[in-house]
Amino acid sequence: MIKSLIALAFATCATFASANAQSYPSKPITIIVPFAAGGPTDVLARTLGDRMRVALGQTVIVENVTGAGGTIGVTRAVRAAPDGYTVSFGHLGTHVVNGAIYPLPFDLLNDLEPVGQIGANPMLIVSKNAVPAKNLKELIAWLKANESKATLGTAGVGSGSHFSGVYFQSLIGTKGQYVPYRGTGPAMQDLVAGQIDLIVDQASNSMPQVQGGKIRAYAVTAPKRIAAAPEIPTVDEAGLPGFHILLWSGVWVPKGTPKDIIAKLNAAMVEALGDAGVQKRFGELGLELPTRAQMTPEALGAHQKAEAAKWWPMIKAANVKPEG
């Protein structure tokens, strides 16, 4: 009798979950972006969300939950109901590097389920126009001459702009001060205004300002130049060989989200990435699309774990702390 009741209970739950998935999405979906509006993560999420709305036939809302290098927003997503209506948007910094810096109240590699990789871009070393340097070697000399007076904008400890800045300064032996913002959108505003000196920034965030002559780019952290900005040399050409960073972004949902709901979200993401308008926008921003094989949930999960194996030893050796 008991066994048949338990079997009935499981069958009922399975039917309920399946019915839920069949009717999914039946209400708006929220994408949590862990940085301020106007930055590269926000722009990427909104570009993608606008097109996923069409594929899903449901409103997609972007909510900016900022602070602590993105960990506040990711924590909010981890704690959300595993029903497919809360999605965590982030990148190498928020979903890998922060695991080696912050005492997170969850398991960064296992308490979120991967949905798929969105795209990747290298970083650009950019400065305010008033910095008296015309190439990377002159910039490095200026940073050394200005010791700790120079300022580097970041999106908080552990953000892409922060760990890229730490890596950059460790290679050139300087100790410029990090100025944290709630995202590199606000940091860029201060760079254009000349309030800070430098950002090692996602290319997608800096490109519009570089092309508008508002800031100066010195090099791209990749072995080849960005097709949309062939005038910017690689770090190898500019005198800092091997300083390669490719900041990739992805989408996750809370652990326990039903597999067929993850499959629906992944299908909508793949359709959005196949959209000509999305691809054009990505190209203009210097964002590389993942291959179809890289777009699967399994591929993102494997990539995230491989990146943790690569970056965590380096970050822990650098003894980077949440307080900076």
Specify the residue, 70 or 258, whose C-beta has the smaller distance to ligand MLT: 70
Structure tokens at 150: 């120079």
At 60, list the tokens: 């997609």
Shortest Cβ distance from residue 244 to ligand MLT (Å)? 17
- Is residue 141 within a helix (H) or strand (E), and if so which, with residue range? helix 136-145
Q: Are 183 and 39 in contact (CB under 8 A)?
A: yes
Which of 119, 160, 250, 290: binder of ligand MLT (CB under 6 A)? 160
Whether the CB-CB separation of 104 and 322 falls below 8 Å is answered with no
Residue 40 is a binding residue for ligand MLT (CB under 6 A): yes
**47 binds ligand MLT, rule: CB under 6 A:** no
Residue 161 touches ligand MLT, criterion: CB under 6 A: yes
Q: Which stretch binds ligand MLT (CB under 6 A): 126-134, 142-150, 154-162, 273-281?
A: 154-162
Please state, in angstroms and rounded to a whole number, the distance separating the CA atoms of residues 66 and 37.
Answer: 9
CA distances from 200 to 164, 219, 246 (A): 6, 10, 12
**Of the two residues 98 and 174, which places its CB atom closer to ligand MLT in the complex?**
98
Instruction: Indicate the burial class of 145 (C-beta count within 10 angstroms; 0-12, 13-18, 19 or more).
Output: exposed
Contact 211, 192 (CB under 8 A): no
Are the beta carbons of 138 and 172 closer than 8 angstroms? no
Burial of 173 (0-12, 13-18, 19+ CB in 10 A): exposed
Q: Is 71 in the site for ligand MLT (CB under 6 A)?
A: no
CB of 178 to ligand MLT, least distance (A): 11
Nearer CB in complex with ligand MLT: 57/323: 323
CB 179 → ligand MLT: shortest distance, Å?
Answer: 12
Q: How many CB atoms lie within 10 A of CB 143?
A: 24
Residue from the set 49, 122, 183, 290 that interacts with ligand MLT by CB under 6 A: 183
**Which residue(s) pair with 288 in the sheet?**
120
Question: Nearest residue to ligand MLT, using CB?
Answer: 39
Residues 197-236 that bind ligand MLT (CB under 6 A): 202, 205
Residue with Cβ nearer ligand MLT (155 or 261): 155
The mark string for 81-110 relative to ligand MLT (x by CB under 6 A, - otherwise) is ------------x-----------------
Measured from the CB of residue 41, what is the shortest distance to ligand MLT in angstroms? 3
Q: Is residue 247 within 8 Å of 92, Cβ to Cβ? A: yes
Give whichever of 150 and 157 is closer to ligand MLT, judged by the CB atom: 157
**Which residues contribute to the site for ligand MLT (CB under 6 A)?**
35-36, 39-41, 93, 155, 159-161, 183-185, 202, 205
